[in-house]
Amino acid sequence: MAKITTATLMKMKQQGEKITTITAYDASFAKIFDQAGIHAILIGDSLGMVLQGHDDTLPVDIDHMAYHTQSVKRGVENTLIIADMPFMSYATTEQAYINATKLMQAGASIVKLEGGEWLEETIKGLVERGIPVCAHLGLTPQSVNVFGGFKVQGRESDKALEMIEHAKALEAAGAQLLVLECIPSGLGKAITEAVSIPTIGIGAGKDTDGQILVMHDALGISCSYMPKFSRNFLIDTGDIKKAIELYIDEVSKGNFPGPEHIFK
């Protein structure tokens, strides 16, 4: 498999090929996922929950993210590496430049930021300085206290229309990827059709350009609960590499997510 870039993912969207993404936090799992043919790996600030045992992602800082990005980088040959900008690491444009630089120097190919139109200036500035950006809309976990918990977003028509406008604005600012989390499947489809950049869904229906799962959910080793939008692929295979290959195949064929995994 040739080295995957943001241009690769854009071409996949244009050709109607599904993109498959998963989180990873160390070299060993990253190597397995890379060899299985995963298109992109996200070093998520979800590590605060699945590795550190916190209730949310807020305690994760930029040094945690840089450390795990370095670890994943050492296990990857071809997969695109996306790294999360953690809570309050991009509250100002200057903070964003400094902290995104740390992640790029640690091995990321693109950094991910949560939020809407307020990020336009930040995204524009990062891209102008050679740092690609993945945007993130819907349930943005860093705003869990504003939302009052981990809840589906965009069910009201005005909120849905607002999210579509945010997506367009983020693309116009220079974002090259867009993660959509925990939104109705119809809204996931509408946003995917409204932008030209690839959309990666997690609980956003089957019409996004790709899917992403937290590795602990995809392998059935989450210590709390299995989210509605997830599926344990390891239980079907008994082998980690085969589980990821099955995940890729099921996304490619349009079998995952199924009706039981989507929000309406």
Residues catalogued as catalytic: 181
89 is in an annotated binding site: no
CB 84 within 8 A of CB 42: yes
Q: C-alpha angle with apex 83: 79 to 86, nearest 5 degrees?
A: 165
Surface-to-core class of residue 61, CB atoms within 10 Å of its CB (0-12 exposed, 13-18 middle, 19+ buried): middle
Amino acid letter at 177?
A: L
Is 236 among the annotated ligand-binding positions?
no
Q: Is position 162 annotated in a ligand binding site? A: no
Residue 207 labeled ligand binder: no
Annotated binding residue 94: no
CA dist 206 and 131 (Å) reads 29
Measured between alpha carbons, how far is 40 from 24 in angstroms, rounded to an integer? 10
The DSSP element (H or E) to which 211 belongs, if any, is strand 210-213
Give every CB contact of residue 95 below 8 A, 6+ residues apart in sequence.
88, 89
SS3 label, residue 164:
helix
CA dihedral (85, 86, 89, 93) in degrees, to 10, reads 30
User: CB 94: neighbour CB atoms within 10 A?
Assistant: 11
Going by the annotation, the residues of the binding site for 3-methyl-2-oxobutanoate are: 45-46, 84, 112
Going by the annotation, the residues of the binding site for Mg(2+) are: 45, 84, 114
